[in-house]
């Protein structure tokens, strides 16, 4: 599929997800319903229950880490959250930057933006804004933010070189990003790599671990640090949508792995 077709799939899926419960989202592949309909488990998301600034209404269970915990956010910072969804990480960041800082959430899904604005208005925050836009072409000025965070979103972006180029552009000199994302080690079966449901579910959009870090280096970032890595097990009842018995056996023996990682780097 072409990049625009993939983006449309993600936009449609996450438009549906915006109106689902956290429980439904957390028991499926990043919220999609087509590939994980029978398994009751959390595939990716970490618990925010003990995180300062957490508001349950903004948590749709779509993350794969806690990037704000490692982002070095300080009072007065301008923080940008890429793929901000219902505003979960924005509100956590707001609790750190305080009244003197600012938080911007960027998303391209109308339903998510609507939900985020509703949540913000309930909380009464005046220094949190939500902007509609594409991560590959952010509608933001050069060198305008101190810290960028993102949670299980960049793997959904077709052109990750463009995404990290844009991250570099909008960061101020000396600024940094901290993102949680999904990466691959080994060879993921072609049937999964190219399936639209698994793309929208955070799996097929992932790239290889070394490639991911290589893109960050090539965009000019320094002091790259991986804070956490967690193996993600795809249960058999998901894989059997794509693989027959022998293919599943070979996959399990191949050593291929999906990982959620939280990585930071400086401009």
Q: What are the pLDDT digits (tens) for 37-85?
A: 443 334 556 778 889 999 999 988 888 899 999 999 999 999 999 999 9
Domain boundaries, the chain: 3-266
Task: Tell me the three state secondary structure of residue 123.
Answer: helix
The answer to whether 57 and 119 have CB atoms below 8 angstroms apart is: yes
Q: What is the mean pLDDT of residues 198-227?
A: 86
CATH number assigned to the domain covering 3-266: 3.40.50.150
- Enumerate helices (H) and strands (E) in the chain, giving the number of each: 10, 8
pLDDT score recorded for residue 262: 97
Contact between 57 and 86 under an 8 Å Cβ cutoff? The reply is yes
Summarize pLDDT for 226-254 with one digit per residue, the tens.
999 988 877 777 778 788 899 888 888 88
User: In 3D, which of 33, 51, 153 has the Cα closest to residue 93?
Assistant: 51
Q: For residues 166 and 198, which has the higher predicted lDDT (pLDDT)?
A: 166
> Could you tell me the pTM of the whole model?
0.88
Separation between Cα atoms, residue 195 and residue 203, nearest integer Å: 9
- Distance (Å, whole) CA 146 – CA 127: 15
Measured from the Cβ of residue 215, the count of other Cβ atoms closer than 10 Å reads 17
| Rounded CA separation 207/184 (Å) | 6
β-bridge pairing 128-132 and 145-151: unpaired
d(CA 168, CA 173): 9
Mean pLDDT, the chain, integer: 86
pLDDT of residue 184: 87
Percent helix, percent strand, percent coil in the chain, to nearest 5: 35, 25, 40
Q: Are 45 and 241 in contact (CB under 8 A)?
A: no
Burial bucket for residue 218 (CB in 10 Å: 0-12, 13-18, 19+): exposed
pLDDT band for position 145 (50/70/90)?
Answer: very high
- The C-alpha atoms of residue 226 and residue 259 are separated, in whole angstroms, by 12
The percent of residues in the chain predicted with pLDDT above 90, rounded, is 57
Contact of 106 with 133, CB cutoff 8 Å: yes
127/42: higher pLDDT: 127
Task: Give DSSP secondary structure letters for 132-182.
Answer: E-BTTB-SS-TT-EEEEEEES-GGG-S-HHHHHHHHHHHEEEEEEEEEEEE
Q: How many CA within 13 A on the CB side of residue 252? A: 12
pLDDT score of 202 = 56
Q: What is the pLDDT of residues 8-35, one digit of tens each?
A: 878 888 887 787 766 655 554 444 444 4
Lookup result for tokens 């890429």: 82
Confidence of residue 198 (pLDDT cuts 50, 70, 90): low
């Amino acid at each position: 599929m072409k990049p625009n077709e993939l983006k449309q799939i993600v936009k449609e899926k996450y438009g549906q997800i915006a109106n689902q419960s956290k429980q439904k989202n957390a028991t499926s592949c990043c919220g999609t319903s087509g590939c994980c309909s029978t398994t009751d488990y959390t595939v990716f998301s970490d618990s925010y229950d003990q995180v300062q600034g957490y508001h349950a209404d903004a948590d749709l269970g779509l993350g794969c880490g806690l990037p704000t915990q490692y982002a070095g956010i300080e009072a007065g910072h301008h923080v940008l959250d890429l793929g901000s969804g219902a505003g979960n990480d924005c509100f956590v960041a707001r609790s750190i930057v305080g009244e003197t800082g600012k938080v911007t959430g960027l998303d391209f899904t109308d339903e998510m933006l609507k939900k985020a604005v509703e949540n913000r208005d309930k909380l009464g925050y005046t220094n949190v804004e939500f902007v509609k836009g594409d991560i590959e072409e952010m509608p933001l000025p050069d060198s305008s933010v101190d810290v960028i965070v993102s949670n299980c979103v960049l793997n959904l972006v077709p052109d990750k070189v463009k995404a990290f180029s844009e991250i570099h552009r909008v960061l101020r000199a000396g600024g940094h990003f901290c993102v949680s994302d999904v990466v691959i080690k080994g060879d993921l079966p072609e049937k999964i790599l190219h399936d639209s449901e698994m793309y929208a579910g955070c799996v097929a959009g992932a790239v290889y671990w070394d490639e991911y870090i290589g893109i960050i280096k090539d965009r000019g970032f320094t002091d790259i640090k991986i804070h956490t890595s967690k193996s993600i097990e795809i249960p058999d009842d998901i894989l059997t949508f794509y693989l027959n018995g022998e293919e599943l056996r070979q996959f399990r023996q191949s050593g291929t792995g999906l990982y959620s990682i939280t990585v930071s780097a400086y401009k």
